[in-house]
Chains A and B, each alone.
Chain A
Amino acid sequence: MDPIRVLAGILSLTMHSLRKLILGKKVLITFLVMLFVASVMGYAGAHSDDSLEDGTNLLDTLILFFFMPVMAMIFGSSLIRDEIDDNSITQVATAPLDRAFSYIGYYLPLGISVALSMVVITTAGFLAFFAQHQLGSKEVEVYLEFVTLVVIGSFVYSSLFLAISVIFNKPVFLGLFYAFIWEAGIASLPGVIQKASIKFYLRSMGAGWVEFGDISGFDQASSVGGSLLLLVCITVFFLVLGAYVFREKELY
């Protein structure tokens, strides 16, 4: 297969899907979540005595713990599934581009748009809280650390939810289960079960970087590098799995 043709195909699908995700109706969800997070963190900021601790805990609980997987689920669970359901996948499926490469063309814009979304939300929340106190170097450091975590998390969760959307006919319910029941509930229980969640490794990385809040005392699974490597492996695994399933999938 001609590599230039493949790259051109991936690029065109990336641009098309990116435009759809960033300029489509889902931007409204980002906006609403941003407003919500800013309100909650703004209110908390007005009542907080220890801004670094409280602010960090809020960034951890509200954004990394809750909205990170939720936004990736909302964006990712329906990206390919919607196109299969409304038959607009026909253009992609009848293009001279192996479906495994087309899958990459869906993953890249998904990861980018979820990451962008989360950066906007994190920034809004951060400013709403910390602007009421002080914005020193420590605060900015916390912000940058969390932005890095959410960007990494965006790409990891995107790979998971995109794979789910291709493997299952009703991906939203499984996505809901993973985001709300598994990550928020079962994998929050103490013990080894925690290691069966993406959030655990993100928090492990956070524990190595962030010096404030509950996250700094989090029981790390391994070093920051080790957690990052594991997350990369998880991402690659879901990408390969999803690409394979998409390639072999019959499109009725």
Chain B
Amino acid sequence: MGISPIEYRPWKGQRTAQTLRFYVVARNVLMHKLRSKGVIVILVLGFLLVHAISLIMIVLLSHERLEGDDMNSYLGGGMFATFAMLLAAVVTSDLVSEDLSNNSFVLYFSRALRIRDYLAGKAGGALAVMSFLCLFPPIALAVVSMATQTGDDYLYSAGVLGKTALVGLLVTVFFVPFGLMMSSLTKRKSYAAIGTFMSFFVLTLVAEIFSEFAEEWRMISPLESLSFLFDWIYEGSLPYFVDGGALTLILTSFVIAPAVVVYIRIQRQEVGK
């Protein structure tokens, strides 16, 4: 005798593969970030101050081939890594902290979504945004340089292009786990941004102070470590006080340790701790 029976029809469409579930989260993060004024400002400023000038110089100045030295001084100057750090702080600050403050984990984990899908999605979205500043512009610049070179040693230039892609990829990846870790430690995204920024700044300051006593301390500064890495990739050599193994360990620990911390934090949230 119902006047207006509620019409419910269960959805019988095809479900996406479990492995692709993180894609939904990643796409959501990317779309959200591309609408954020702060992110757009940093992307534009970063592009103008870091990449645009170098691009103009490369097009205007005659060059025989793409040189590793040139790319190293363009990317290793400090501004590139600083903007990457800024962007990472802004992009990652609310990724986990907002879910913490809104208790949104129940939204994710009551679905068929695992922690690794959630983290992969969040990191994937952040990495996609980071690549707009850290990966695509250097590659584009290297390609333009190759296209405008006067010599015909394209193989050498391609090698440098490959190194540039590697450098871009490493910088894209480098700052995101730390930013995610900071985001997972607080419910306020502004504190997460401060924490990320301050941590890198403090490490840089400590490196500066301690390097007066021993040069090796410079490796604890993320910006300096990246600069040494660029030297290693482009020129195949490191300063005398930098041990390759120690540098690799420090850089890896910047990435892996925070990633582990985030995973543990989310795991505790998942079981309601």
Contacts and interface: CB of A to CB of B under 8 A. Distances in A.
Interface of A: 36, 40, 43-44, 47, 58, 61-62, 66, 70, 73-74, 77-78, 170, 172-173, 176, 180, 184
Contact of A173 (B38, B205, B210): B38
B209 A58 contact: yes
7 contacts: A40-B206, A40-B210, A44-B210, A44-B213, A47-B213, A74-B194, A173-B38
Interface string B203-214: 001100110010
A66 B205 contact: yes
Interface residues of B, number: 14
B23 interface: no
B48 interface: no
Given A43-B210, A58-B209, A78 B190 contact: yes
Interface in B73-127: none
A54 to B, nearest CB: 8
Contacts of A73: 194
A135 B206 CA distance: 25
A176 B213 contact: no
The A interface, classified by DSSP as helix, strand, loop or mixed, is: helix
A86 to B, nearest CB: 11
Contacts of B193: 172-173, 176
Nearest to A43: B210
Given A44-B210, A70-B198, 5 more contacts: A40-B210, A44-B213, A172-B194, A173-B38, A180-B201
B210 A172 contact: no
For the complex of A and B, the 8 pairs showing the least CB-CB separation, nearest first, are: A172-B190, A47-B213, A176-B197, A40-B206, A66-B205, A180-B201, A176-B194, A172-B194
Given A36-B202, A173-B38, A180-B201, A61 B209 contact: yes
A170 B190 contact: yes
B49 to A, nearest CB: 13
Contacts of A40: 206, 209-210
Interface string B4-17: 00000000000000
A164 B198 CA distance: 19
A62 B202 CA distance: 9
